Structure 1
Amino acid sequence: MSGSFYKVECPDCENEQVVFGKASTEVACAVCGTTLARPTGGNADIEGDVLETVEAR
């Protein structure tokens, strides 16, 4: 499985959460429930600000 993990900041509550770059399901913020990533069939559409790449593959 190739893909990267990104630290994403929630646009609503500023919570930082790690998200897989090729997420196959919708990823919600653990604090407020805002959608952080939507699946697109390839790379996920990330809604928040990407702060850093945690692990690149």
Structure 2
Amino acid sequence: MQHLAEAATKFVAPFPVVIYGVIAMALFVLLGLVTWSYRDVANRREHKSSKSKGHH
């Protein structure tokens, strides 16, 4: 059991810790761009029925 505890303390990250933050930030930006690309999609559809349109 002592050997497992010593092995756990000797963990070395495969790359610097800052890179994990950069990867996470890039992933959030990518997902944000995908979400942003779907803006106004519902308003571009002309086949809406008259019941679904607002009474403006």
Short-chain TM bin:
under 0.3
Tell me which of the two structures has the higher relative contact order, counting C-alpha pairs closer than 8 angstroms and 6 or more residues apart.
1
Higher strand share: 1
TM-score (norm: length of structure 1) = 0.18
Bigger radius of gyration among the two = 2
Higher helix share: 2
